Amino acid sequence: MNCTVILPIIISLMASFSMSQLEMLAQAEISVQDTTPKARELTRRDFILHTYNPNTEIISMFYKDASNKLLRTLGSLKQFVESNKKELIFAMNGGMYHPDFAPVGLFIADHTMHKPVNLNSGNGNFFIQPNGVFYVDANEKPGICLARDIHKVQKIKHATQSGPMLIINRRINPYFSDTSNYFNIRNGVGITKHGKLIFAMSRKPVTLYEFALYFKQQRCTNALYFDGSISKTYAPRSRWTQLNGNFGVMIGVLKK
């Protein structure tokens, strides 16, 4: 056979083989991209939110009623607040608790320490490091800090320890992965450098990374995770009035 006939055939076969390999590589790359989960950028529509107004509201923390009986539900909390002639504007579960509803970590209510800070190691979200404390000082000023730094805060009126921290000095907790596929309802609180305090509970299951990313987008310097699937929120202004639950510490925002 003439070389002028063979050469185009060889070139054609080489081109076909190369294109086939390229197509296989492209398909493999697309397959990997399609099956790897990526963190979603969530918006305020994905959350029940409350921005604390220090001019018209005060923050309090609750565990038991006047007779030393566990409150446990947001409905019981609401009744307790109203029995004291106050108005409950917003409420959600606070830091994590044991099966007997006792706080796992630090809990202070009305300047009285009921449980000291817990700096131990262990299993579960509470012990993912670093964990933190949401507190209110004697001047009704809220804050969020690492649990190991709580001793630096003076005259604490209310405090609840939980974990993990979601945002630490404007950065997402490095423990979290943007490819996580562990979704859950989640609630927590974040604060900006100007003291703007934002409570949030997801309306749908989200990852820890996605939850943290939302607080980062709100320019929070620090944010703390409270809990997951058990989370409930009472937010009548958002037409969201969950009154059930089975909690230890609860956080309430009351009208001044």
Question: Which of 217, 97, 99 is CA-nearest to residue 167?
Answer: 217
Three-class secondary structure of residue 236 per DSSP:
helix
Structure tokens at 117: 């800070």
> Which single residue is written with the structure tokens 């979601």?
166
Identity of the amino acid at 136: V
Other Cβ atoms within 10 Å of 160 Cβ, number: 30
Residue range 87-140, pLDDT digits in tens: 999 999 999 999 999 999 999 999 999 999 999 988 889 999 999 999 999 999
CB of 160 within 8 A of CB of 95? Answer: yes
Structure tokens at 108: 């202070």
Quick one: which H or E segment has residue 146?
strand 142-146
DSSP 178-217: TT----B--EEEEEETT--EEEEEESS-B-HHHHHHHHHH
Domain ranges of the chain: 1-36, 44-255
pLDDT of residue 28: 46
Residue range 50-100, pLDDT digits in tens: 999 999 999 999 999 999 999 999 999 999 999 999 999 999 999 999 999
Structure tokens at 156: 């604490």
> Which single residue is written with the structure tokens 């796992």?
104
Q: What pTM was estimated for this model as a whole?
A: 0.85
Three-class secondary structure of residue 166 per DSSP:
strand
